[in-house]
Structure 1
Amino acid sequence: MNRRLPSTPPTLPGFVFVRALGSGGFADVFCYEQDMPRRVVAVKVLLAELVNDEVRRMFRAEADLMAQLSSHPSILTVYQAGVAADGRPYLVMEYCSSTLAERYRSAPLPISEVLAIGVRISSAVEAAHRQGVLHRDIKPSNILTTAYGHPVLGDFGIAASVVEGEHGAAGVSIPWSAPEVLADDRASVASEVWSLGATVYSLLAGRSPFEVPGGANGSAALIARIEKARLNPTGRADVPERLEQVLARAMSRRPAERQASALELLRDLQAVEEELGLSQTPGDLEVQEWASAPLADPVDPVDRTRLAPAAEPGEAGGRRAESRGARRWVSDGPADASIGVPAPPSRRRLGWGVAAALAMLVGVIAAGAGFWLALGSDDPIPVVADLRADVDGTIVTFAWDDPGIDEREAFLVRVEGQDTPARRETALDVPARAGERLCATVRVTRDGRSGAPSAERCVEVEESGG
């Protein structure tokens, strides 16, 4: 099938068009040179035939979310957004000269590099999920390389999300999509864990997970194999068995059997790094994470970018203990935050260090609490108080009254422990199976902070489906 030609690049004040970079089902990407500050940028422009007032409104809401997410070191930076004179919304983004899609099929990537990429991109996806945002299209071609060689995740499906009411799953990338996404376009945290696993697999194997070298690899053939989810090993002799197991779990046919989050997959990849004797790649998380984490031996109190060890299987996670008992760390600081950390102190010095750290932490928390009280006491985040649930056949509709949200705010609906994308509508339809019990809560998010959740509402779908 021939790809369409890019649309005409818009005239943007302060920018000079250089060349077209690519085209997709919902948008085109162009290279521009910005006048001030002078730099080369990538500009993503929605197609004119998709634009209406509702699309513009939703595009602005998602552009705001992208701007918040792009502060993450492994997410493509968004500089600004706007609407061109011809009415097409656009995003101005960091320019990256290459993607991993240009590398992984031409030559095998070193395992150490693949693991580092997997950890960093998993941390980016985890950060998005904590903001209630699903990427929807995780794959090698959406992992770009900055001028300094760092992998960053781009294309958060803004165009796909704002027009999905009309076009459904038109933007689905079949080779890296979970079975449930291909079956009924049900994206979730679990489906994104699948796509992360499929992406890491591809970087190792030089092909997508269910692609058969020399065989039939059209859409129908791939979908049939993905629905069965019978994953073969990567075929590389240097890939350890533990990594094969991590990827097989991420691409389990049943979502409940996969890692519960991108963060859990990140920790599994870090454990493989440790098993191989590699330096663990830090996974960047929100700064608030370490402030609430306990200081636990043997953490060096000088290195406060480290969280306490991930709960070992058999503890809070309820899984069987691993024989190696590996400690898996997640860093919320810069990549070089652990450089120059002194040797572990004696127990006496450790005790004084912990006491000092706790004292400092109490002071920081107290100051921060006072700041937020002073800043936000007159403008509390609204709380949903009237969540309802109705059943129509096998469709459960959760609905609620608007408590008075403004243009900065949106609703986050959590169904069965998983957040759906942020929305401003006051209802959500959830497909269910006969005999299934669904529970949900709703909370309001504003500028990356969430208010208190509503009371949980549960409903059962009758066995007859009526």
Structure 2
Amino acid sequence: MARRLPSPPPTLAGFSHVHILGSGGFADVFLYEQNMPRRQVAVKVMLSEVVNDQVRQMFQAEANLMAQLSAHPSILTVYQASVSSDGRPYLVMELCSAALSQRYRSERIPVAEVLRIAVKIGSAIETAHRAGVLHRDIKPSNILLTAYGHPVLSDFGIAATLSETGDREAVGMSIPWSAPEVLMDETAGTIASEVWAFGATVYSLLAGRSPFEVPGQSNTSTDLISRINRAKPQPIDRSDVPASLERILQRSMSRRPESRQSSVLELVHELQSVESEIGVPQTPVEIAVDEWAAATVADLEDRTVIRGGSSSRGSVSQRRRRRRGADQGYSSVGTIVKEDPVGSRSAQTQPRGPGRGMRLLAWAVVGAAVLVVALGALATLVLIRAGSTDIPTVSDIAARVVDDTVEFTWNDPGLGAGDTYQVSPSDGSPAVQQREASFVVDAEPGDRVCISVAVNREGRVGERSAEKCADVPE
């Protein structure tokens, strides 16, 4: 099919057109130079033939959304949005490179680098999900690189939303990274379908092709959709890709949505575990802190450092209570300190008599005795806990064969806050760390699939369960 010519670049006040950067099904991207402040920017302009009142409303919502999300370090920064004099909506964005989408096809990107990119982009997707936003077009070409080599996610929703009422062939390039339930029009998008697309994208960066392309064979849209519905991705032909990583990605592309990781964040944590496995530092997860996101202007001076993890809403008021307490003469442990302002008669003229000194000494002795008893009790408790090996044990694993998968489930034996299950397949694959009390294995007819499960508590693995097996009918 012949490529269309780019649309004419619009005249934008304060910007000078340089040249075309790229064309898509719904928009063109141009390089402009902004006059003040002086910098080069990418300007995405929608095509006049797709613009109507509904699209304009959608574009405004998209621009507002991008303005909120682009504060994330791994989401493309949007500087401004408006409508040109000829009626076409446009976005002014940070100028980034699309080199990654070309590079993965032409060379093998190191596994550690792919994992670093994946954790950063996964953090961006998870942040969007927590804001109630689905990207719906996750694929390698939507991962751009800043001038400093930082990966950023672009194109939130516009093309995906427009494609819902258009010809699917117009967005055929997204088919290789679309979940089967999306291709079958069972849903316009869910977190589970985003997990699929994210896993397929990471796979592509490692394999140099999409998961269901078969080198040397026909790879039309129909062929790809058929293979995606079977959910049997081609093996990654690289000896440096750990088997555990391939299993993680295969799980993310399971045919049944409930068999995938429950969130992009769960998938990101599994990718971090592979980083540790291959001996590289874990890439930090960058998730917006709820407390910061809800901050008022009055609170900003108290919260200039964002700490990882989700904090409780009560923590700010607790800090304020402690601060007010300190102003009133209360120490951080709640001991009352008597105020003796300079110039008061009690502070300067009232001498301490012997009786008061003896009372203070007596109270000090009593306090010391209480402290010794408390410390002794605490030490005993610590020793008891340190010597305890009471890690819960998984038992009564059930297995269910569904089509070409085997689903293992078990009851929670009493997992603690930081505990994980360590699932060990019998085929020699590396053990998988997870929080869910279920595990799905893809299998072929006639296969016998077995697993055992143990609980990992702070690096210590408890007693392993009895091995549970299931036979897949031929």
TM-based fold match above 0.5: yes
Q: Is the 8 A contact 1:63 1:158 kept in 2?
A: no
Aligned partners of 1:178 and 1:285: how far apart in 2? Answer: 25
**Aligned with residue 254 of structure 1, among 239, 256, 263:** 256
Distance 1:6 1:285, change over 3 A: same
Q: 1:167 Cα deviation (Å)?
A: 5.5
CA contact (8 A) 1:16 1:34 kept: yes
The C-alpha deviation readout for 1:402-450, integer Å capped at 9, x for no partner, is: xxxxxxxxxxxxxxxxxxxxxxxxxxxxxxxxxxxxxxxxxxxxxxxxx
Question: Is contact 1:55–1:163 with CA below 8 Å preserved after alignment?
Answer: no
Show structure 1 runs of 5+ residues with no match.
293-302, 328-466
Distance 1:96 1:185, change over 3 A: farther
Question: What is residue 87 of structure 2 aligned with on the other side?
Answer: 87
**Are 2:381 and 1:273 equivalent residues in the alignment?**
no
1:101 corresponds to 2:101? yes
Q: Does 1:45 align with 2:45?
A: yes
State the alpha-carbon separation in 2 of the partners of residues 291 and 35 from structure 1.
32
- The alpha carbon displacement at 1:62 in A equals 1.5
For 1:318, give the aligned amino acid: A
Question: Does residue 3 of the first structure (1) align with residue 29 of the second (2)?
Answer: no
Q: 1:290 touches 1:305 (CA, 8 Å); kept in 2?
A: no
Separation in 2, partners of 1:81, 1:311: 46
Distance 1:25 1:241 in 2: 38
CA distance in 2, matches of 1:316, 1:304: 26
Q: What is the deviation of 1:231?
A: 2.0
* Identity level (%): 62
What is the rounded CA distance, in whole Å, between the counterparts of 1:25 and 1:65 in structure 2? 21
Count how many residue pairs are aligned between Structure 1 and Structure 2.
Answer: 317
> 1:362-385 CA distances to partner (integer Å, 9 max, x unpaired)?
xxxxxxxxxxxxxxxxxxxxxxxx
CA–CA distance in structure 2, aligned partners of residues 24 and 69 of structure 1: 23
Whole-angstrom distance in 2 between the partners of 1:188 and 1:109: 29
Partner of 2:287: 285
Distance in 1, Cα, partners of 2:458 & 2:271: 12
Matched residues in 1 for 2:217 and 2:275: separation? 33
| Aligned: 1:175 with 2:283 | no
- Residues 195 and 310 of structure 1: is their aligned pair in 2 closer, same or farther, counting only changes over 3 Å? farther
Give, in angstroms, the shift of residue 5 of structure 1. 1.1
What pairs with 1:70-219 in structure 2 (closer than 5 Å)?
70-161=70-161, 164-165=164-165, 170-171=170-171, 173-184=174-185, 186=187, 187-219=189-221
Match for 1:312: what amino acid? T
Contact preservation (8 Å) 1:202, 1:208: yes
Which of 437, 440, 443 aligns to 1:318? It is: 437
> Cα distance, 1:238 vs. partner?
1.0
Is the CA contact 1:41–1:92 (under 8 Å) kept in the aligned structure 2? yes
Choose the corresponding residue for 2:230, options 217, 228, 231: 228
* One-letter amino acid matched to 1:84: S
Structure 1 residue matching 2:92: 3-state secondary structure: strand
Instruction: Go from structure 1 to structure 2 and tell me whether the alpha carbon gap of 1:317 and 1:90 turns closer, same or farther (over 3 Å shift).
Output: same
Equivalence for 2:266: 264
Residues 312 and 45 (structure 1), Cα distance of their counterparts in 2 relative to 1, 3 Å cut: same
Is the contact made by 2:163 and 2:171 (CA closer than 8 Å) also made in structure 1?
Answer: no
How far, CA to CA, are the matches of 1:3 and 1:311 in structure 2? Answer: 54
Letter in 2 for 1:150: H
Question: What CA distance in whole angstroms lies between the structure 1 residues aligned with 2:419 and 2:31?
Answer: 45
Task: Give the Å deviation of 1:175.
Answer: 0.9
Q: Output the aligned Cα RMSD.
A: 2.6
1:306-350: per-residue Cα shift (whole Å, max 9, x none)?
Answer: 4498662499643576676688xxxxxxxxxxxxxxxxxxxxxxx
Aligned residue in 1 for 2:30: 30
Q: Which residue of 2 aligns with 1:373?
A: none
What 5-or-longer segments of structure 2 have no aligned partner?
A: 295-304, 311-416, 423-433, 440-452, 460-474
Residue 162 of structure 1 and its aligned partner are, at CA, apart by: 5.1
Which one scores higher on RCO, CA 8 angstroms, separation ≥ 6? 1
Would the alpha carbon gap of residues 274 and 228 (structure 1) be closer, same or farther in structure 2, given more than 3 Å must change? same
CA distance in structure 2 between the partners assigned to 1:286 and 1:77 by the alignment: 16
Q: What TM-score, normalized to structure 2?
A: 0.63
Which amino acid is 2:231 matched to? Answer: A
Q: 1:47 to 1:290 in 2, by over 3 A?
A: closer
Say whether the 8 Å CA contact 2:212–2:224 is kept in structure 1.
Answer: yes
